């Protein structure tokens, strides 16, 4: 049965109204969530830095880095669309408690294997696969849970503050992770990440949220899944946003998988170089979050999204020609700024225009483009770098991302008009 997009669902209006950036903090549930996630995501970034360097030290292979990313992304690629249907049927807080607990256990397992000096590459791939399964449910649950914590009126504020939290953690996590890795070893990065999940789990247990109606479970799971796909494909705003997100995830954000070999061959210091560049990327991302909050208040989100989608891959092309830490840091900072402008506003605009009946399914498609496609691109980029070199791979992928972004934004000119 065709899914017809009603006129009030096609054109963003009141849903895109301006709102105070900090309005969501008035909700106690969101405050618990915000500060718990700040601690937990910082721990996740600590582990991410350490794991990349450990894999590269164990194998010396860029393809292995891509395989580790792919292992975490395969479940998102396969399960995320179905996760959107599950999110609409099961209490989201319960799902988050399950997924966060699972990721905490896997972090403890990783730390234990490393401390026992028995960690092998296949262990890392298996644990990454487990994290990916948990993430496939966790990501759409978190995105959908925001509206339960803050309500529709303060949802744009919740999205903005969630982005600021995430990108603050992208600064704190790699910075502390690099220092801990250099002075204490990778085991501490894994162990601290495991402990960090206690903060978000505590917040989830003590917060109070209003129950929301759940989708009836009488229909087969594939029927609402197909309805969500058809709705997103026909929507004049959601469809190009998802396409642009898929492009940037596959060809743009994948550059981070090559930061360890880039730091090794170009900068001459794998550990500190990788953590420094990831920290700089986080600084750019945090600046973008603050800038996007200003765009939200002044009503020019569409043009900001388009500019971010074009500026970021331009910075990657420039990165491929750098040979010093300063020039590389500038390029990575601009790339981090541009990509976060794009992805935060994609999330904001999708949440603003999607009806509640399709929210979980459409957000699962957005999660698929972000978490599912990026690891596939990371593997291809790693293989490419092994064949033609790190800088050449960054140039090719950055150029492809830039060309695609220009074509999509020119064809979907309505994106520039979004307030």
Q: Which pLDDT belongs to residue 389?
A: 92
Flag whether pLDDT at 299 surpasses 80: no
Return d(Cα 215, Cα 140) in angstroms, integer: 16
- Mean pLDDT of the region 144-159: 82
* Residue whose entry in the numeric block shows the structure tokens 């074009």: 310
The vertex-76 CA angle with 85 and 223, nearest 5°, equals 25
pLDDT in tens, 181-205: 878 888 999 999 999 999 999 999 9
Domain membership of residue 405 (yes or no) is: yes
Average pLDDT, the chain: 83
Average pLDDT score over residue span 151-156: 81
Q: What band does 25 get if pLDDT is binned at 50, 70 and 90? A: confident
Number of domains within the chain: 1
Q: What is the pLDDT of residue 293?
A: 75
Q: What is the pLDDT of residue 101?
A: 95
| Per-residue pLDDT at 16 | 47
Instruction: Report pLDDT for 65.
Output: 87
Q: Is residue 121 part of a domain?
A: yes
Distance from chain centroid for Cα 358: 21
Q: For residue 43, which phi and psi values (nearest 5 degrees)?
A: -65, -40
The verdict on residue 360 lying in a domain is yes
216: in domain: no
CA distance 271 to 43: 17
Residue 318 lies in a domain: yes
Phi, psi of 63 (to 5 degrees): -65, -40
For residue 93, the SS3 value is: helix
* DSSP character at residue 24: G
Residue found by looking up tokens 């830095």 in the block: 49
pLDDT of amino acid 224:
66
Range of the domain at 131: 19-207+221-417
In a domain, 66, yes or no: yes
- Of 384, 375, 280, 379, which is closest to residue 337 (Cα–Cα)? 280
Residue 358 lies in a domain: yes
Mean pLDDT of 118-136: 90
The residue length of the chain stands at 419
> Tokens standing for 131?
């994290």
- The pTM of this model reads 0.76
What's the confidence (pLDDT) of residue 223? 66
367 vs 283, which has greater pLDDT? 283
Whether the predicted pLDDT of 359 surpasses 80 = no
- Of 165-174, 322-331, 346-355, highest mean pLDDT: 322-331
Which token pair is 302?
């569409």
Name which of 407, 62, 403 is nearest 395 in CA terms. Answer: 403
Residue 385's pLDDT band (cuts 50, 70, 90)? very high
DSSP per residue over 246-290, as a string? HHHHHHTGGGGGGHHHHIIIIIS-HHHHHHHHHHHHHHHHHHHHH
Nearest to 281 by CA among 342, 337, 345, 346: 337
The CA–CA distances, whole Å, from 204 to 30, 97, 101, 140, 195 equal 10, 7, 11, 16, 15
- Residue 381 sits in a domain whose CATH number is 1.20.1250.20
Q: Is residue 5 part of a domain?
A: no
275 versus 298: which is more confidently predicted?
A: 275
Residue 11 has pLDDT above 60, yes or no: no
Cα distances from 162 to residues 34, 166, 264, in angstroms, run: 7, 6, 33
Q: Which of 35-49, 232-246, 361-375 has the lowest mean pLDDT?
A: 361-375
Give me the pLDDT at residue 159, please.
Answer: 80
* pLDDT number for residue 3: 41
Highest-scoring range by mean pLDDT, 12-26, 127-141, 159-173, 290-304: 127-141
Q: Whole-angstrom Cα distance, residue 57 to residue 62?
A: 11
Tokens read off for 174: 């790699």
């Amino acid at each position: 049965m065709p899914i017809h997009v009603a006129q009030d669902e096609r054109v963003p209006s009141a849903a895109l109204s301006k709102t105070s950036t900090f309005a969501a903090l008035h909700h106690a549930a969101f405050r618990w969530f915000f500060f718990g996630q700040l601690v937990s995501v910082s721990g996740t970034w600590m582990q991410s830095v350490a794991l990349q360097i450990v894999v590269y030290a164990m194998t010396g292979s860029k393809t292995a880095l891509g395989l580790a990313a792919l292992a975490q992304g395969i479940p998102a690629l396969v399960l995320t669309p179905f996760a959107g249907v599950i999110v609409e049927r099961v209490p989201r807080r319960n799902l988050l408690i399950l997924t966060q607990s699972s990721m905490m256990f896997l972090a403890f397992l990783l730390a234990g294997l490393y401390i026992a000096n028995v960690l092998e590459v296949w262990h890392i791939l298996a644990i990454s696969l487990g994290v990916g399964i948990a993430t496939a449910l966790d990501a759409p649950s978190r995105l959908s849970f925001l509206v339960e914590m803050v309500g529709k009126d303060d949802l744009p504020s919740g999205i903005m503050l969630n982005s600021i939290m995430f990108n603050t953690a992208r600064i704190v996590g790699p910075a502390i992770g690099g220092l801990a890795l250099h002075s204490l070893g990778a085991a501490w990065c894994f162990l601290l990440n495991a402990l960090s999940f206690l903060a978000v789990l505590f917040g989830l247990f003590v917060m109070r949220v209003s129950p929301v109606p759940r989708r009836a479970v009488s229909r087969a799971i594939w029927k609402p899944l197909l309805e969500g796909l058809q709705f997103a494909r026909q929507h004049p705003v959601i469809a190009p946003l998802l396409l642009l997100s898929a492009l940037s995830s596959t060809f743009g954000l994948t550059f981070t998988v090559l930061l360890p070999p880039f730091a090794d061959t170009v900068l001459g210091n794998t550990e500190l170089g990788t953590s420094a560049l990831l920290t700089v990327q986080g600084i750019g991302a945090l600046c973008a979050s603050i800038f996007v909050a200003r765009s939200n208040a002044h009503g020019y989100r569409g043009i900001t999204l388009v500019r971010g989608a074009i500026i970021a891959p331009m910075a990657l092309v420039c990165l491929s020609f750098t040979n010093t830490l300063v020039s590389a840091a500038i390029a990575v900072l601009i790339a981090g700024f541009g990509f976060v402008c794009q992805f935060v506003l994609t999330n904001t605009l999708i949440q603003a225009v999607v009806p509640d009946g399709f929210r979980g399914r459409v957000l699962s498609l957005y999660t698929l483009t972000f978490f599912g496609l990026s690891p596939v691109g990371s593997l291809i980029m790693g293989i490419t770098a092994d064949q033609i070199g790190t800088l050449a791979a960054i140039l090719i992928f950055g150029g492809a991302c830039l060309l695609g972004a220009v074509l999509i934004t020119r064809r979907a000119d309505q994106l520039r008009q979004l307030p």
